[in-house]
Chain A
């Protein structure tokens, strides 16, 4: 049986693969207990909760720019998993493309411009977007 389908990490993403506790009420993915959002009453995964609320934490304009004063660091933030995943969602939306080390082929994270190793990647010469070595996961 497949493990938790969420991805952990911030600067680089990796598969969780912990035993599934339940499925997310929004995306239907199998989720472990650690990746269930307490703020949603444990009905959503942290990613779905972050996508629903992350932009409230971190105001990102349509052009991807983030205002000078980052609203995500509210003075009363608990800095728990809900906060961290909300911040991660906002940070990725503002243009950061994390590297993904994993094997899940889920399309859930397609909105994040992740970089991962691709089998046909053999050109060491460049780092530009669209390089064969940087497949969108």
Chain B
């Protein structure tokens, strides 16, 4: 917890604003963006790790306060000793409770640090130093209320007597960048999330509800390759992707789309996005120099 709070306090006002607004939009160099978001990412990682522990300590202090109250009320401990002990335990309980609520409020979607940051770090390698990229990043939770698109009627499924599916659409990451070779890359990611709330009665007659997730992630990438540097031909995709080639006078645009399906609400592997951009470059070959053999 100490490390988490230290990481939070070490953030600059701009980084704290990102945590509060949970949105980032504009033109950034990859270097500036990584410098801005790395500390935010580190704080978010520490916060995710420590929140469960802080919540548990909060519960422990509350239980101890109640036990202490009972023991003191029964005369086992004198009030002179018991009262400050109870107050101290309640104070610790409140401190931990407030901390966990405060950290939960600034929690960011894990997509940000497991997909967006590595993708920007890879794209940076192909960009001229100081060249900005356009970026729109939504860091709110994939199942935030604002992203809800609807819900199903209740139905029964196996042992679950009540199942309600909640549907969310999370268009959380899009952007574009010019690369050093004159190509351009633009990308857009939209995730369709289904949260299935399933309720059953267990053997002791208690009603238990749990959530299950499935997610379809739509990845779309446009890569525009200049004829000066590249010639583009037809090829079988090396990955499961739809590819459309649109030639123009000076450039050829490859539009690539793929779907990633996962049975959880966790981030998918950033490699799926990197492979999609790589697929465009796989179809390209270096153009012959002007006046050369070709």
Contact = CB atoms under 8 A, between A and B. Distances in A.
Given A10-B125, A122-B294, A124-B294, A70 B270 contact: yes
B126 A122 contact: no
Nearest to A125: B233
A29 B282 CA distance: 29
Mostly, the B contact residues are: mixed
A122 B274 CA distance: 30
Contact of A122 (B231, B235, B288): B288
B196 interface: no
Given A79-B38, A91-B274, A124-B231, A70 B293 contact: no
A1 interface: no
A76 B43 CA distance: 10
A78 B126 CA distance: 18
Contact of B278 (A8, A11, A72, A126): A11
A121 B281 contact: no
A120 B180 contact: no
Given A12-B126, A73-B114, A115 B286 contact: yes
Contacts of B21: none
B294 A121 contact: yes
B32 interface: no
Contacts of A53: none
B34 interface: yes
B121 interface: yes
Given A9-B125, A124-B294, A96 B278 contact: yes
Nearest to A12: B181
A42 interface: no
A2 interface: no
Interface in B173-227: 179-181, 183
Interface residues of B, number: 44
A98 to B, nearest CB: 7
Given A12-B181, A101-B229, A120-B293, A77 B118 contact: yes
A98 B34 CA distance: 25
A117 interface: yes
Contacts of B234: 127
The CB with the most chain B CB atoms within 10 A, among A10, A11, A83, A127, is that of: A11
Nearest to B287: A117
A99 interface: yes
B126 A10 contact: yes
A79 B44 CA distance: 15
B271 interface: yes
Nearest to A132: B293
Nearest to B180: A14
Contacts of B233: 124, 126-127
A30 interface: no
B26 interface: no
B122 A14 contact: no
B8 interface: no
Nearest to A90: B271
Contacts of A101: 181, 229, 286
Interface string A45-85: 00000000000000000000010111011011111100110
Interface in A114-137: 115-117, 119-122, 124, 126-127, 133-134
Interface in B255-294: 269-271, 274, 277-278, 281-289, 292-294
7 contacts: A9-B125, A12-B179, A73-B269, A87-B122, A116-B286, A121-B294, A124-B233
5 tightest A-B CB contacts, nearest first: A79-B121, A117-B286, A122-B293, A10-B125, A11-B281
Interface of A: 8-12, 14, 66, 68-70, 72-73, 75-80, 83-84, 87-88, 91, 95-99, 101, 115-117, 119-122, 124, 126-127, 133-134
Interface of B: 34, 38, 42, 45, 113-114, 117-118, 120-126, 179-181, 183, 229-231, 233-235, 238, 269-271, 274, 277-278, 281-289, 292-294
